[in-house]
Homo-oligomer: A and B are copies of this chain.
Amino acid sequence: MPRFDYQEVLREIHQEVQPLIGRGKLPTYIPALAEISPDKFGLALHTVDGQASHVGDSSERFSIQSISKLFSLTLALRLRGAKTWERVGREPSGTSFNSLVQLEYERGRPRNPFINAGALVTSDILLEHLDAPQDNYLDFMRHLSGIPDLRHDEEIFQAEITSAYRNRAMANLLKDFGNLSHAVDDVLEFYCFQCSIMMSCQELAASCLFLANQGVSSLCGEVLPRRKAKRVNSVMLMCGTYDAAGDFAFRVGLPGKSGVAGGIVAVVPGKMSLCVWSPALNEVGNSYAGTKALELFTTKTRLSIF
């Protein structure tokens, strides 16, 4: 495989997706997301051998939203290990990210940690291990990213809590089935806090690099054992983009995790991590231009895992 000039590849992609930026819809459930300019686009990558490339608005921070599910799972695996899987599965869901149907049929055991119900369980697990959950979580993210001033956005945080009816329904159903040990309000608050953390493409790509590097971060050493890191990648591929996971695997061919603010992180095992951001979403809730950019990336570089 030829050595690529990744900076050049990113520049090409930026150019080619230009007509697609802004296509799709902004989420409307909280003002802070609805008001962001749909014209933003950033793309960054970090390789395991130390290269970094980026284009566009790659240093502008946005709320990481569901990308936090990836970090929460990582932290749960560090603190609780394989026992995490006793309370949440690792199968794709075949339904929307916020459906209660499967959760009821399967008696309160979420299909995987990357749908909302699963992330609520992960958050509940973390609450058992963290003394000051919000501070500890931020510390973990600062450690992972190497960015000491990482913080959350209070306005987004509060808005998420206020509008979280569907998530609140889910948390109460989990509680009813005995799969939450903390108070519903505490779990929801912590979950919304995670979603409201602000990071840029560059920072997110750096923070995921350990997943491309057998669990080891160049910034902070071993984040997860090799085998666990691989397993996070497998769950991410199977479940990271909701009910479009199959299509994402088909088009992009990389483990990836998306968020409702338009960010998507992706991992090329053994090689690099990427993060793309563009706020307008396709009909399944993933960044429209972002998904296309990643598809172009694997087409150009032939780095699909398949």
Bound complex: CA of A47 vs CA of B93, how far in Å?
34
Bound complex: CA of A168 vs CA of B183, how far in Å?
13
Is A296 close to B, CB under 8 A?
no
* A233: nearest chain-B partner, CB-CB: B306
Give min CB distance, A115 to chain B, whole Å. Answer: 11
Given known A99-B104, A246-B112, A269-B306, contact A237–B235 (CB-CB < 8 A): no
Given known A230-B306, A238-B246, A250-B90, contact A173–B184 (CB-CB < 8 A): no
Proximity bits, A91-105, B CB within 8 Å = 1, else 0: 111110001111011
Residues of B within 8 A of A169 (CB): 100, 168-173, 176
Bound complex: CA of A304 vs CA of B250, how far in Å?
18
Give min CB distance, A49 to chain B, whole Å. Answer: 16
Residues of B within 8 A of A105 (CB): 101
* A94: nearest chain-B partner, CB-CB: B94
Please tell me if the beta carbons of A173 and B100 are within 8 angstroms of each other in the complex: yes
Please tell me if the beta carbons of A230 and B94 are within 8 angstroms of each other in the complex: no
Partner of A234, one of B166, B231, B253: B253
Is A256 close to B, CB under 8 A?
no
Is A141 close to B, CB under 8 A?
no
Residues of B within 8 A of A204 (CB): none
Partner of A172, one of B90, B99, B166, B176: B166
Residues of B within 8 A of A227 (CB): 299
Give min CB distance, A231 to chain B, whole Å. Answer: 5
Residues of B within 8 A of A112 (CB): 246
Is A255 close to B, CB under 8 A?
yes
Please tell me if the beta carbons of B173 and A91 are within 8 angstroms of each other in the complex: no
Give min CB distance, A149 to chain B, whole Å. Answer: 32
Bound complex: CA of A245 vs CA of B94, how far in Å?
12
Give min CB distance, A84 to chain B, whole Å. Answer: 12
Proximity bits, A213-249, B CB within 8 Å = 1, else 0: 0000000000000010011011101110001111101
Bound complex: CA of A243 vs CA of B92, how far in Å?
8
In addition to A237-B249, A255-B306, 13 A-B residue pairs with Cβ atoms within 8 Å of each other are A89-B246, A90-B246, A90-B250, A93-B94, A94-B95, A99-B104, A168-B168, A169-B170, A169-B171, A230-B304, A234-B250, A234-B253, A238-B246
Using CB atoms and an 8 Å cutoff, list the residues of chain A in contact with chain B.
89-95, 99-102, 104-105, 111-112, 165-166, 168-173, 175-176, 184, 227, 230-231, 233-235, 237-239, 243-247, 249-250, 253, 255, 269, 299, 304-306
Write 11 A-B pairs (CB below 8 A) sorted by A numbering: A90-B246, A91-B244, A94-B94, A94-B111, A99-B104, A101-B101, A237-B249, A237-B306, A239-B246, A269-B305, A269-B306
Q: Which 7 A-B pairs have CB atoms at the shortest separation, nearest pair first?
A: A94-B94, A91-B246, A169-B172, A92-B92, A165-B176, A233-B306, A230-B306
